């Protein structure tokens, strides 16, 4: 038994945790210790800050921080910070941004900003009686009891927008919800929403006990199951779009603009019909969204679940972009539900998140929404453009060449040589390996 078993793992010192991990799970302990030390930040204050972001932190796991320049959005130029390990994403985003910058850039807008949360509870009474109690007694009290929580948010122009009671008893016996809509201004607002909802639950219980909702012969039965925000925000929506005349839709040496537009349109339509294609289609969109979200300290996991739920809101999972050819004009757009923040959380605590927001011009949350939507649209355009012309692997594997060479242990001179060697060739691991072995043999 470990000598540390008397106290929880989280209470061990970092050195104790490292010693335990290396002893119990690694054969080469020196290798492990060296690696953990190598990726710890040399500045102790910075490292301490990183460790407080999470639990049981031993070191840091670094991801590349890149920039996709040339994004023209609503007439303003942006350089998008992107944190992602997939080598082709930043290059594809930058290429799409350059393409559309020459054609008027991205037009984007926020269509709505509402977020929601629910108190889920069971109660043995009729909907009619409960609705009257809610309307006459409970709703004013919910607003009164959350007044102190919402003061700061209301001063910024946000707060609780709407509270309603939903009867869900046909789905689960006695199940009801208090459903609330919120405007959290420039904050993502999770803590604010959850604080309001938990107060709703306390108020609900107190007011029910004091009420005459139940007759004397009725047995009072009530239970709060949970009070929690929803990461599904179909009413917090941003649209990004691009358009141009068909004659400028393709560059030189590509297929004709008409053929390209028609193939592109069919590719988008296929993602509306086939869920196997739709998932990959939407994953490409989220490559662009997640990379900027990570760079700005936003919760990409919440964004992912939100967007994919929205993709299925019709009852069938579908691709999120739309395309139309109207007369001589090509139109391409998407709507994305995006609950993000530019204040609070990691957006100000993480130095690189704060830097990213500085690069973007300190955007409001609504401006960040349109930036994320534009990044997702650019990424999807770049992917579809490759798919309907040269194929995805040519560009993707070109970017992957350095990863292959690093796996093979190439030095800088060898990297330069192989980059030139594969300049006009399709890159595959096998092709690079054969060329590598031939060079080594000749040496």
Catalytic residue among 95, 265, 281, 396: 396
Catalytic residue among 198, 290, 299, 367: 299
* 3-class SS letters over 169-225: CCCCCCEEEEEEEEECCCECCHHHHHHHHHHHHHHHHHHHHHCCCCCCCCCCCEEEE
For 154, the enclosing helix (H) or strand (E) is helix 147-155
Question: How do strand 76-83 and strand 236-245 relate by DSSP bridges?
Answer: unpaired
Active site residue 396: yes
- Give the 3-state secondary structure of residue 152: helix
Catalytic residue among 86, 179, 304, 335: 86
For 435, the enclosing helix (H) or strand (E) is helix 429-442
Catalytic residue among 17, 41, 101, 283: 283
Active site residue 86: yes
- R_g of the chain computed on alpha carbons: 27
Closest CA to 84 of 67, 61, 64: 64
Distances (CA, A) of 356 to 137, 348, 374: 47, 10, 16
CB neighbours of 143 closer than 8 A, spacing ≥ 6? 160, 163
Helices (H), 211-350: 257-273, 275-295, 300-311, 346-349
Local structure of residue 343 (DSSP, 8 states): B
Supply the residues annotated as catalytic.
Answer: 86, 283, 299, 396
């Amino acid at each position: 038994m470990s000598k540390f078993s008397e106290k929880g793992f989280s209470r061990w010192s970092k050195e104790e945790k490292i010693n335990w991990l290396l002893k119990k799970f690694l054969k080469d302990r020196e290798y492990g210790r060296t690696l953990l030390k190598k990726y710890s930040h040399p500045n102790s204050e910075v490292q301490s800050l990183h460790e407080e972001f999470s639990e049981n932190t031993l070191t840091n796991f670094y991801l590349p921080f890149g920039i996709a320049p040339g994004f023209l959005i609503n007439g303003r130029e942006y350089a998008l910070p992107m944190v992602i390990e997939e080598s082709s994403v930043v290059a594809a985003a930058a290429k799409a941004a350059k393409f559309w910058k020459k054609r008027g850039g991205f037009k984007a807008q926020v269509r709505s900003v509402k977020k929601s949360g629910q108190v889920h509870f069971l109660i043995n009474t009729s909907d009619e009686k409960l609705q009257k109690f809610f309307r006459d007694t409970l709703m004013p009290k919910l607003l009164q009891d959350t007044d102190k929580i919402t003061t700061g948010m209301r001063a910024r122009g946000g707060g609780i927008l709407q509270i309603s009671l939903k009867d869900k008893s046909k789905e689960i016996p006695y199940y009801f919800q208090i459903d609330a809509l919120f405007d959290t201004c420039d904050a993502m607002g999770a803590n604010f929403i959850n604080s309001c909802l938990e107060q709703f639950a306390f108020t609900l219980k107190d007011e029910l006990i004091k009420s005459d909702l139940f007759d004397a012969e009725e047995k009072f039965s009530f239970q709060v199951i949970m009070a929690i925000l929803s990461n599904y925000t179909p009413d917090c929506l941003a649209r990004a779009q691009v358009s141009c005349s068909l004659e400028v839709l393709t560059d030189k040496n590509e297929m004709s603009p008409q053929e390209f537009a028609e193939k592109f349109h069919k590719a988008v339509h296929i993602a509306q019909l086939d869920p196997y294609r739709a998932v990959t289609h939407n994953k490409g969109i989220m490559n662009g969204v997640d990379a900027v979200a990570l760079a700005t300290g936003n919760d990409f996991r919440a964004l992912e679940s939100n967007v994919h739920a929205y993709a299925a809101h019709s009852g069938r999972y579908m691709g999120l972009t739309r395309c139309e050819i109207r007369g001589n004009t090509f139109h391409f757009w998407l709507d994305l539900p995006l609950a993000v923040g530019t204040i609070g959380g990691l957006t100000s605590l993480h130095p690189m998140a704060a830097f990213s927001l500085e690069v973007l011009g300190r955007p409001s949350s609504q401006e960040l929404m349109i930036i994320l939507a534009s990044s997702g649209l650019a990424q999807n355009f770049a992917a579809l453009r490759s798919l309907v012309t040269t194929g995805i692997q040519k560009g993707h594997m070109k970017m992957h060449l350095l990863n292959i060479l690093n796996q093979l242990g190439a030095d800088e001179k060898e990297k330069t040589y192989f980059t030139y060697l594969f300049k006009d060739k399709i890159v595959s691991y096998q092709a690079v390996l054969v060329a590598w072995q031939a060079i080594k043999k000749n040496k």
